[in-house]
Amino acid sequence: MKCLMVRQPWASQIADGSKTVEIRSWHYAHRGDLLIGASKNMAGQRMRDGTLYPSGMAVAHVKLVDCVPFNAKLHGKAAGCDRNTAQDCEDSGDWAWILADARAIEPFPVKGQVKPFEVDYPPREEKKPLPTVASQRSSPTNLVNVTYAQTGNSIALDRMGMREMQAKAFQARDAQYLLLKAPPASGKSRALMFLALDKLFNQGVQKVIVAVPERSIGASFASARLSAHGFFADWEVNDAYNLCTPGGESSKVKAFGKFLDDTAATILICTHATLRFAFDAVEESRFNRVLLAIDEFHHVSADADNRLGEVLRSVMSHTTAHIIAMTGSYFRGDSVPVLQAEDEARFSKVTYNYYEQLNGYTHLKTLGIGYHFYQGRYLSAIAQILDTDKKTILHIPNVNAGESTKQKHDEVNYILDAIGEVEKQDSATGVLFVRRKTDGKVIKVADLVNDNPKDRDKIVAYLRTLNSPDDMDLIIALGMAKEGFDWPFCEHALTVGYRGSLTEIIQIIGRATRDSPNKTHAQFTNLIAQPDAADGEVKLSVNNMLKAITASLLMEQVLAPNFKFKTKHPDDTQTPEVGTIHIRGFKEPTSMRVKAIVESDLNDLKASILQDSTLLKVLPGEFIDPEVINKVLIPRVIRTKYPDLNDEQVEEVRQHVVADSAIKNGEIKEVGDKKFVRMAGKFVNIEDLHIDLIDRVNPFQKAFEVLSKSVTASLLKVIQETIDAGRIQMTDEEAVILYRDRIGSFMQQHGREPHINASDPLEKRMAEALVYLRNKRRQHQAQQAAQANPA
C-alpha cells in the first residue's frame, strides 16, 4: 500500500479526522487507500537533495478521494495553514490532497521516499515480548460511580439476631407465597431460616424443603444456632437429609421419599435437579403442609420446557404448600418471564434494594462499574487492566463466545505467564504460586477453569476455607465463582466479553460487593472488544458495546437510592419526607395494578426498555429528541409488557419510570437548605421540577457522554456510523447514483464529506449513502474473509 510521510502534529490530526486536506507541490493520480506516516526527519536541504529518506511510524489509514488545485477556501481543512500560507500555496500552484474516512491504526515503523512509497500493510508480524502485568497498567473507564454512607445499618443485628433485610422479610412471614428480592450477600439464606422456623412452629407447616441450583450453595443452609442471638429456635439439618453431596440422583430421590415419610424429620436441603426428579417420583399430595423454598429463583422460567417452573405451578395449583422464592437478581428473566402473570400476582413481594444493602456497610465506601477496550485478542489487554495487588476474580469468556480463542486452558496459561513464573502448585489444595515479574512478589492463584474433577474439588474445598486476604490473590474462572460463591475479600470483578444476561452481571458484581476490612472500593470491569471500522464484524462489536453500556445503566438504576414521587400542588407548604420528591404535573398511581408495578417492577421495566432494539439504536443519538424517547418509544414498551393497562395507567407508569430514571441518573447537590438535581447539563431546584421538564431529558444519555469523551474521534465516528447504518433505509442503486453523481463533486467543492446531521436534505442523504456504502463494504470484506478462511 502507498504511504505518505507527514510531519507532526499534522499526521495525528489526519488520524483523528480533524485535518482532511494535505498540501503538496505535486499532483498525484492515485485514488483510494493511503497510509499516513508520522515522520521524525522530514525537513531540511538533505530531504530535498535525497540524501536522507524520511522515517517514522505509520499512524493512520485514509482514502485519497481527489487531488485538486489548492484554493483559499480549503485552508480551514488543512490544519496548521493560516490565511497567508493558504494564499502562498494558491499562488505557487500547490495541490490539495482531499482525504476522507480516516482511522487511526496500530503504529508500525516505515521509511521511504519523500513522495508516496510502497509499504507492506498489514505489516508482517514480528514476535513481541509478552506484556507484563503491571508494566503497562491502565484504569477502567467508569460509567457508574456510587458513594455510600457506611452507616452500618444493613449488618447490625436486632434483638432477635436479624439484619435489617431479614427483619423486613420476617414482617411478611404470614404470606403463603413470598418472593424475596435482595442483593447477593445480604443474608437471604438466614432470612429463610427465620421464616421457615416460624412456619414450622406457628403456621402448621410440617416440613421444609430448600432447593438450591448447585451442590456448593447448599452449605449456605447448614445448621445454625439462631437462639444464641435471641431467636426462639435453632436451624438444625440432619446430615442424612442434606442431599447436596456427591452421588447419583436415584439414591437422592430415595432419600427425598424417606424424608417425607419420616415424621421426625423437618428440614431437607437438595438441588433444583433433585427436586425435579423427586417431584416425578412421589405423589403430589405429599407436598401438602410443606414449605418449598427455591433459592436463586431466577433459574425458574414460565417457559413450557422449564421443568422447575412446571413443578412450581403444579404445587401452587394442587397442594396447600407454602412457597418462598429468593433471588439476588432484580430482573425476572432475560427473555422469558419467571412466572406467568396470574401466578406472580399470588406472591407477596419483599424487596431490599442494593443501595440499602451497600449504604449500610461499615467498610465499603465506593463502587465503580466500567469497561476497558481491547483490540485483537483480549489476552493482549489483560496486562493493562489486571492489577494483582487487588483481590480479583477474572472470568474468561465461554469457549462458544466470539472473544474466546477456543483454547481455555491455553488462555489461563497465557494469563499466568503475563503475571510471572509459576513456581509450584500445592498438591493438597491446588493453589498455584506465581512469582510476579515486576517485583518478585509471590501471588496465590486459583484455576477454576481446570475441569478435571479431582483437581477442581481440591481447589473448591480450599476456597471455602479462606479466612484472610492473604489466603488468595486471584481466581480465574469460566462458569464458576458467580452466584452463591463467597469471597468477601474480592475487590475487583474483571469479566471478559459482553454478557447477555443481566442476572449474570449482577451476580458477578455481587462477588466484589461484600463488606470487608481489606477494601473501601469495589470495582466491576467489563473487558470488551473495541469496534474497528476495518473489521467485517464491526456491527456485532458495536452492538455488544452498546449492550454492555446499557447493562451498566441498568446497574446504576439498581444501585442508586430509591425515591418516592408525588404530585406537587400549588398550596403545598410542608417540607417533603426524606426520599420523597414532589413534581408539578406528575400523575400518581390511581390503581393497585399500577402501584404494584411502581413498587416492585420498575427495574424489570427498565430492563425491557433498555433492551428494546429500537431504543438501543436511538439512546446514543445526540440529535434524537428526548421527548420521542420518553413519550413515544417508552410507552410502546410499557404497552407491550403490560397489555392489560389502559392509556391512563400507561401514562402513570411512564411518568414514574421516566422521572425515576432521570433523577437516579442525575446528580443531587445541597446548597444551604435547597436541593438541586443535575438534568440535561444544568442544575435545577428540586422545588421547581415539572414533568414537562423531565420529559425533555434523555435519562440514559450520561453514560454515552462518558463514552464519547473516552474514545478517539475516529472510533466515535465508527460507532455512530454503525448505529446510523441500522436506521438508514436505502437501496444499492440510490447509494451508487449519489456516490457517482453527487458526493465527489460535493467533496471537491466543500473540502469535506457531507454531514449526516446537515439541515440540507440532499447533503444528509449523501452522508447516509456514504454510511450505507461503507457498511456494505465491511459486509463484503467479512464475506470474503470467511470464504478465504472457512471454519
The string of pLDDT tens digits covering residues 532-563 is: 655 556 666 666 776 677 677 777 777 777 78
Averaged pLDDT score across all residues of the chain: 82
Tell me the whole-structure pTM to 2 decimals: 0.66
Q: What is the CATH number of domain 153-357?
A: 3.40.50.300
Give the model confidence (pLDDT) of 169-202 as tens digits: 999 999 999 989 888 778 899 999 999 999 999 9
pLDDT at 227 over 70: yes
pLDDT at 57 over 80: yes
pLDDT value at residue 87: 40
pLDDT value at residue 68: 87
pLDDT at 239 over 50: yes
Q: How far is CA 487 from CA 278, 472, 612, in A?
A: 32, 9, 35
Give the model confidence (pLDDT) of 390-415 as tens digits: 999 999 999 888 888 899 999 999 99
Domains 153-357 and 369-557 share a fold: yes
Confidence band for 46, pLDDT divided at 50, 70 and 90:
very low
pLDDT value at residue 303: 52
Nearest to 502 by CA among 556, 554, 559: 554
pLDDT value at residue 712: 63
Confidence band for 29, pLDDT divided at 50, 70 and 90:
confident
Residue 497, classed as helix, strand or coil, is: coil
What is the DSSP track for 341-390? Answer: HHHHTTSEEEE--HHHHHHT-SS--EEEEEEEEESS-THHHHHHH--TTS
pLDDT value at residue 48: 42
pLDDT value at residue 591: 92
Nearest to 291 by CA among 218, 358, 208, 233: 208
Least confident of 283-287, 310-314, 652-656: 310-314
* Mean pLDDT within 210-236: 92
Considering only residues 399 and 705, tell me which one the structure prediction assigns the higher pLDDT. Answer: 399
Every domain of the chain and the residues it spans: 2-118, 153-357, 369-557, 728-788
* Mean pLDDT within 257-269: 96
pLDDT value at residue 606: 85
Query: What class is the 2-118 domain?
Result: mainly beta
Q: Phi-psi region for residue 140, left (φ > 0), alpha (ψ -120 to 50) or beta?
A: beta
* Mean pLDDT within 524-533: 79
Q: What percent of the chain shows pLDDT beyond 90? A: 33
Give the model confidence (pLDDT) of 116-126 as tens digits: 888 888 776 54
Confidence band for 89, pLDDT divided at 50, 70 and 90:
very low
Query: What class is the 369-557 domain?
Result: alpha beta
Contact 695, 548 (CB under 8 A): no
pLDDT at 41 over 80: no
Nearest to 224 by CA among 269, 262, 283, 264: 269
